[in-house]
Amino acid sequence: MFPKENGNGYHHHHHHEVPPPGMGNGDGVRRVTRSSRASSPTSTSSDTVPVVRVPEQQQLQQHRPPCTDFDMAYFNSYSHLGIHQEMIKDRVRTETYREAIMRHQSFIAGKVVLDVGCGTGILSIFCAQAGAKRVYAVDASDIALKANDIVEENNLSDVVIVLHGRVEDVEIDEEVDVIISEWMGYMLLYESMLGSVITARDRWLKPGGLILPSNASLYMAPVTHADRYSEYIDFWRNVYGINMSPMISLAKQSASEEPSVETITGENILTWPHEVKYIDSYSITIHELETITSSFKFNSMMRASLHGFAFWFDVEFNGPAISPIDSHSTPSSDNNLANGSQRKKRRNPNDALVLSTAPENPPTHWQQTLIYFYEPVALEQDQPIEGSVTLSQNKENARFININLEYSVGGRSYVKQSVMK
């Protein structure tokens, strides 16, 4: 989910604010953020009345969060073809999901499935092909209208029911056996739909039901990236024979101001990664996602320049956790260990199916997210890098992430703040 459109084919770090609904660029230029392509209305021919069900406004309950202008712009951005094409063409993503559905066919066949943020409906159709009795495909974007046409085109209207609306608003009058969703954003949580998955789980998932993916982990590690640094910064030292070094401070500021979505390799990573957050799909709460803090201590494996930190994530597709013995015990007994250290056991750890966006794995459209420093820091081999990272939802727009990094190297302490928007 959430590919960034990077029109310049170059760097991904100039993001644009989400325009208010109805303020799309309309200029056909591919921008870095999908959101900036917000709203060209999706045309539906007037003679066809879509059978897509929309929620009745009067059914809304007070406790559900309101739909903001930012939400509207976000949903609007997903009515554009390019995003869905990029996500579907991401073979690592799409084929891992298909494999997960086939592997868990015994949980899906004859059962009721909910696809949260279904987009074109491809996962819903995979579930129908796996023998689901019924699939509710929910999407707040106008792409739901197309998903409905696709379902009809594939003669699956008797199985797949497309609901056009937010998971917070639509009505489903039965419990579901399985929730599937591709909710992950850049840095796992950027623009994340995980809140919608949690809402769906709490509203409709049967006890003992299956959630795919079952868990996720966000990682970080210090990186060195001299090539990019020189390409971006040192470039100004000699421009067609002219010394433009007064531009360097501006280039450093621009390169380090906002997180950059790009692809790096294992060679850029200086240490073993640190797990910033472990997410168990069955127990995570919306409140827990508002602020995530983690302390780290790295030791550089080599002598190098530290240019910043990289973030990436993995998600796993495991069957429901088996804990028949303590199913009657009090919930407090299993939740007393902080930060996901108490993890549910898999049936067989060897056959965990993983979708990984780590630098050493084949690239996906999520790439990795890098936060560059204004100045590199010289590291000796085995030198410690200690500190903490805090990710919190932006007050202005909950889909944005505020990133606060505090780190100490070689007796000096630094603070780096950034917003992923």
pLDDT average, residue stretch 64-77: 75
Its sign, for the CA torsion 256, 262, 266, 268, is negative
Asked whether the beta carbons of 374 and 356 are under 8 A apart, the reply is: no
Question: Is residue 8 over pLDDT 50?
Answer: no
Distance CA 373, CA 385 (A): 14
β-bridge mates for residue 116, sequence order = 138, 181
Distance CA 312, CA 284 (A): 19
List the catalytic residue out of 5, 17, 86, 182: 182
Distance CA 107, CA 359 (A): 32
β-bridge mates for residue 390, sequence order = 293, 404
CA 322 to chain centre: 27
Provide the pLDDT for residue 52. Answer: 60
pLDDT in tens, 153-186: 999 999 999 999 999 999 999 999 999 999 999 9
**Beta strand pairing call for 412-420 and 401-409:** antiparallel
Question: Is residue 58 over pLDDT 80?
Answer: no
Minimum mean pLDDT range among 30-44, 93-107, 116-130, 306-320: 30-44
Fold of 216-319+350-420: Hnrnp arginine n-methyltransferase1 (2.70.160)
Active site residue 182: yes
Minimum mean pLDDT range among 4-13, 172-181, 230-239, 375-384: 4-13
Distance CA 126, CA 387 (A): 44
CA 261 to chain centre: 12
Instruction: Provide CB contacts within 8 A for 237, sequence distance 6+.
Output: 243, 244, 245, 248
pLDDT average, residue stretch 372-401: 94
On average, the pLDDT of the chain sits at 83
Minimum mean pLDDT range among 4-13, 256-265, 358-367, 394-403: 4-13
Question: Is residue 25 over pLDDT 80?
Answer: no
List the catalytic residue out of 17, 56, 168, 191: 191
Residue with tokens 């085995």: 382
Between CA 343 and CA 353, with CA 347 as vertex, the angle to 5 degrees is 85
Please give the share of the chain, as a percent, with pLDDT higher than 70: 77
Provide the pLDDT for residue 274. Answer: 98
Domain limits of the chain?
69-182, 216-319+350-420
Distance CA 382, CA 385 (A): 9
User: Please, which pLDDT band fits residue 246 given cuts at 50, 70 and 90?
Assistant: very high
Provide the pLDDT for residue 348. Answer: 56
Between CA 177 and CA 179, with CA 178 as vertex, the angle to 5 degrees is 135
**SS3 state at 350:** helix
Question: Is residue 217 over pLDDT 80?
Answer: yes
pTM recorded for the entire structure: 0.80
Question: Is residue 14 over pLDDT 60?
Answer: no
Asked whether the beta carbons of 383 and 133 are under 8 A apart, the reply is: no
Output DSSP code: residue 380.
-
User: Please, which pLDDT band fits residue 190 given cuts at 50, 70 and 90?
Assistant: very high
Question: Is residue 55 over pLDDT 60?
Answer: no
Provide the pLDDT for residue 6. Answer: 40
pLDDT average, residue stretch 239-266: 95
Cα–Cα distances (Å) from 14 to 4, 255, 302, 361, in that order, read 11, 9, 31, 25
Question: Is residue 325 over pLDDT 60?
Answer: no
**Closest among 70, 86, 63, 57 to 20, alpha carbons compared:** 70
Fold of 69-182: Rossmann fold (3.40.50)
Question: Is residue 218 over pLDDT 70?
Answer: yes
Asked whether the beta carbons of 166 and 67 are under 8 A apart, the reply is: yes
Stronger pLDDT, 13 or 37, i.e. the higher one? 13
